[in-house]
Structure 1
Amino acid sequence: MLMPSIFGENLFDDWMRFPTERQSNAGYRNAELMKTDIKDVDGNYELSMDLPGFRKEDVKIQLKEGYLTIQASRTENKDEKDNNGKYVHRERYTGQCSRSFYVGKDLEHDDIHAKYDNGVLTVTFPKEAKKKEPEEKKFISIEG
């Protein structure tokens, strides 16, 4: 049966999917799910990202080669049975989404602080990494 479509996508299939499933079909759409605000607060950047429906355990943050990558994944099972134990409705969902932000190569793991509360991830990191002081030359004394 042919269903109405807009720009090559099936309108009704898209409507019936979970929001995270719709977003995982195309990388650029992750930005729609993982809405992000970045503020300049007292010499630090504060990144606030909406992650509705995810738990703290579902979210992973990685710093690699100057990029801060935030990844969220989720698996959900819904089973509804009638009185005889036969399935009336059954759904399974597995999906993931991720976004990356360039934060600079000088930033280290200890510089980044994250908090997750009520579906909002807040990540704070300095605008500029602390300058490493050159190691002081230490000499060993020679006896004799």
Structure 2
Amino acid sequence: MKLLPGFNLFDSAFDDLFYDPFMKKTEGYMKTDVTEKDGNYLLDMELPGYKKEDIKLELKDGYLNVSAVRNNETSEKDDQGNIIRQERFSGSCSRSFYVGEGITEKDIKANYDNGELKVIVPKEAPKQVEEKRFIPID
């Protein structure tokens, strides 16, 4: 049991009980850098090992929710077809960002390449340009 200053005893009491040194840790996934450029927020998110179709972006009530789910299964067999090694991994991660009530799906642009998700969100909701409407004369 680890007791560190500022940590609750009950939060870390069972950490060592379930510690597995061979298990790949998933904490730290979806590391995100948020920068501002040209009136937009740029989100650079690290998602190594995920495929484009594993990632979902959803806009609801002014929040941009980014989630990713991954399921992998690997098996190795010998010459006779006997399983030598079989591994399974299942993991997910998600983040939410408040982008504002005036932002719509059309305003947000996203690109995923080589384990990096880049999302561009306007800093402010685009102003609606009013169409010209002619008033008929009687």
TM-score bracket relative to the smaller structure: 0.7 to 0.9
Structure 2: distance between partners of 1:105 and 1:14: 43
Provide the residue aligned with 1:115 in structure 2. 111
Structure 1: distance between partners of 2:71 and 2:58: 21
The 10-residue stretch of structure 1 (129-138 or 106-115) with the greater mean CA deviation from structure 2: 129-138
Return the letter of the residue paired with 1:18: K
Report if aligned partners of 1:19, 1:33 keep a CA contact under 8 Å in 2.
Answer: no
Q: Is 2:126 the counterpart of 1:130?
A: yes
Q: Is 2:40 the counterpart of 1:19?
A: no
Structure 2: distance between partners of 1:55 and 1:63: 20
Return the letter of the residue paired with 1:35: K
Provide the residue aligned with 2:63 in structure 1. 67
Residues 52, 110 of structure 1: CA spacing in aligned structure 2 closer, same or farther, 3 A cutoff?
A: same
Residues 85, 55 of structure 1: CA spacing in aligned structure 2 closer, same or farther, 3 A cutoff?
A: same
Structure 2: distance between partners of 1:16 and 1:40: 39
Provide the identity percentage: 45
Aligned length: 128
Structure 1: distance between partners of 2:125 and 2:20: 43
Structure 2: distance between partners of 1:38 and 1:72: 19
Output the aligned Cα RMSD: 2.2
In the alignment, structure 1 segments of 5+ residues that lack a partner are: 24-31
Return the letter of the residue paired with 1:16: F
Q: CA deviation at 1:141?
A: 6.6
Provide the residue aligned with 1:93 in structure 2. 89
CA-to-partner distance for each residue in 1:93-133, whole Å, 9 max, x for gaps? 22211111000010011110011111110000110011224
In the alignment, structure 2 segments of 5+ residues that lack a partner are: 3-11
Q: Is 2:47 the counterpart of 1:51?
A: yes
Structure 2: distance between partners of 1:119 and 1:108: 25
Provide the residue aligned with 1:26 in structure 2. none
CA-to-partner distance for each residue in 1:10-39, whole Å, 9 max, x for gaps? 48844322333xx4xxxxxxxx21100000
